[in-house]
Chain A
Amino acid sequence: MSVQVRIPTPLLSLTGGKKEVSAEGATLKEVIEDLERQFPGMKERLCDEEGNLRRFINFFVNDEDVRFLEGENTPLKEGDIVSIVPAIAGGS
């Protein structure tokens, strides 16, 4: 299962400046593991000490917040787009 992952600015140093990368995995969790294999150091940036997704990062699968889906267990299919977006934006 190959998906496209959009990388936010703070993580570009890990991907060598690439804003979009391909990753393998049947769930978001597996994709994060694959990102770690490709870009060592990625996982500790995306997950806290307990391995949970960091609370100030929002993950989207095809424009839907994974907290409305199944969180890190959200299933992925070929060609899905995963966006990693800093949560701390916005006012009104």
Chain B
Amino acid sequence: MTYVKGLKCRECGRTYPKAPQFVCEWCFGPLEVVYDYEKIKKNFTKKALENRAPNMWRYRELLPIDGDPVCGHTSGFTPLVEAKNLAEVLRIKKCYIKDDSVNHPTLSFKDRVVAVALSKAKEFGFKTVACASTGNLANSVAAHSRYSGFDCYVFVPYDLETSKILSSLIYGVNLVAVEGNYDEVNRLCAEIAMNFPWAFVNVNIRPYYAEGSKTYGFEIAEQLGFRAPKNIVIPAASGSLVTKIYKGLIEFYQLGLISEFKTKFFIAQAEGCAPIVNAFKENSNIIKPVKPKTIAKSIAIGNPADGVYALEIVKKTGGYAEAVTDEEIIEGIKLLAETEGIFTETAGGVTVAVAKKLIEKGIIPREEEVVISITGNGLKTQEAVQNHLKPVIRIKPSLEDFKNHIKGGV
């Protein structure tokens, strides 16, 4: 059963049939999946959702595959945590954490997009999957490729966190470490994709792949009791997640699953790589690429593919774009861990720190609610915080020595 009509260029509107194609042949603009919403309306209702399993495929009609998914059956439907302790510290009425640090199986929101991409790659008949990645995507493509029976090549910058390298290699895939930054890896992959018959999930499969991110937005709305949040803070690398959460909420609104959609979108970036924030603050519509230098490597994209569209969404929803320093990122990671017991990676530190900054500046009003998007797990970026934690209390195995270190007791 398919609900997809085809692909359409976001820039010039030219349409194309479903194919592993990612840019408009005329103007090089990005291609978007077009759905048959009339047909979707007949099958996709609140009532229908009640009986579906808690994973991302419960939104099947709004995802761009024609047959059954080949993976991701346990991905998605991560917790939406009401963060009371964090709200108290931030002095805001209500705060929610959408927690993809525990997404299955590879602990980041990338399991959503990869499940769609690999299902689609199978439909197109590819035997090999690949990606350009800052780590999380590589981990996810690697894991899902095994489950769904693909050969796999992942391309990453050579200086990634050890854990992100290991978390791809463990699956026995081919990991290519490129001596360059992510933008250079990405460019190389765009060229490789033109020369090898592979499904590069975020290159030639990108229009389908990116749709998987909508499920993050669908879930937030559903978990809030079928309504859109007032404010949402989202980390931006390529900017794709921002555009897809927006698209997801629009679709829910147009299909009547939520009755109102007035969410303000806030973009979070690291100061060392903030091309979208820079454009917002300079009130420019052009995203000038930057050379990244930040500990938030997972979102260190200096040349964001969807930057212009993410920026448009921030502007038209009355949101804001803000950046934070590496020190603030570390404080953000610790704040979330110490208040809510959630250990997020550097990108999550960026989001928490930006939310804090925007609340303090009064840009996100204290009497409103905010959803903070946590997209990855702290176990993968331990280097970032290891020199910023309390020292270990090392003692001899005796009560006496313990008492030398810890006061109290009887």
Contact A90 B305 (CB under 8 A): yes
B134 interface hit (Cβ, 8 Å) = yes
Question: How many chain B residues touch A (Cβ–Cβ < 8 Å)?
Answer: 51
Interface string of A59-73 (1 = CB under 8 A from B): 010010101100000
Q: Specify which chain B residues have a CB less than 8 angstroms from the CB of A65 in the assembled complex.
A: 183, 289, 303
Q: Are A56 and B303 in contact (CB under 8 A)?
A: no
Q: Residues of B contacting A67 with CB < 8 Å?
A: 288-289
Inter-chain contacts of A83 with B (CB < 8 A): 187, 191
User: Nearest-CB distance from B311 to chain A (Å)?
Assistant: 12
Q: Tell me, in angstroms, the Cα distance from A86 to B191 when the chains sit together.
A: 9
Residue contact B206 to A89, C-beta cutoff 8 Å:
yes
We find that the number of chain A residues with CB closer than 8 angstroms to chain B is 26
User: For residue B189, which residue of chain A has the nearest CB?
Assistant: A89
Q: Are B301 and A58 in contact (CB under 8 A)?
A: no
Interface pair B133/A92, CB less than 8 Å apart: yes
Q: How far is the CA of A92 from the CA of B184 in the complex (A)?
A: 13
B373 within 8 A of A: no
**Does A91 lie within 8 Å of B206, measured CB to CB?**
yes
In Å, the complex CA distance between A68 and B290 comes to: 8
A56–B30 CA distance with the chains assembled, in angstroms = 8
Docked complex Cα distance between A61 and B266 (Å): 35
Q: Find chain A residues with CB under 8 A from B183 CB.
A: 65, 90
Q: How far is the CB of A12 from chain B (nearest CB, A)?
A: 9
Q: How far, in angstroms, from A10 to B204 measured CA to CA in the complex?
A: 12
A55 touches B136 (CB 8 A): no
- Nearest CB on B from A41, distance (A): 11
CA distance A6 to B191 in the complex (A): 10
A91 touching B184 in the complex, CB below 8 Å, given contacts A56-B28, A58-B303: no
- Given known contacts A60-B187, A65-B289, is B28 in contact with A54 (CB within 8 Å)? yes
Contact with A along B131-165 (1 / 0, CB 8 A): 11111110000000000000000000000000000
Q: Considering the complex, which residues of chain B in the window 222-266 have a beta carbon less than 8 Å from any beta carbon of chain A? A: 237-238, 240
Cβ of B308 < 8 Å from any Cβ of A?
A: yes
Nearest CB on B from A33, distance (A): 19
Q: Determine whether the beta carbon of B206 is less than 8 Å from that of A45.
A: no
Expressed in whole angstroms, the minimum distance between the Cβ of B173 and any Cβ of chain A is 18
Q: Verify if B186 is at the interface (C-beta below 8 Å from A).
A: yes
- Closest residue of chain B to A7 (Cβ to Cβ) is B194
Known: A8-B194, A67-B289. A88 touches B303 (CB 8 A): no
In the complex, what residues of B have CB within 8 A of residue A57's CB? 28
User: Complex formed: what's the CA distance from A15 to B255 in Å?
Assistant: 46
- The answer to whether B137 touches A92 (Cβ under 8 A) is yes
Closest to B236 in A: A92
Question: Closest chain B residue to A87 by CB distance?
Answer: B305
Structural contact, A91 and B137, CB atoms closer than 8 A: yes
Minimum CB–CB distance from A81 to chain B (whole Å) comes to 12
**Known A56-B28, A56-B29; contact A86-B190, beta-carbon cutoff 8 A:** yes
Q: Which residues of A contact B (CB under 8 A)?
A: 6, 8-10, 19, 45, 48, 54-58, 60, 63, 65, 67-68, 83, 85-92
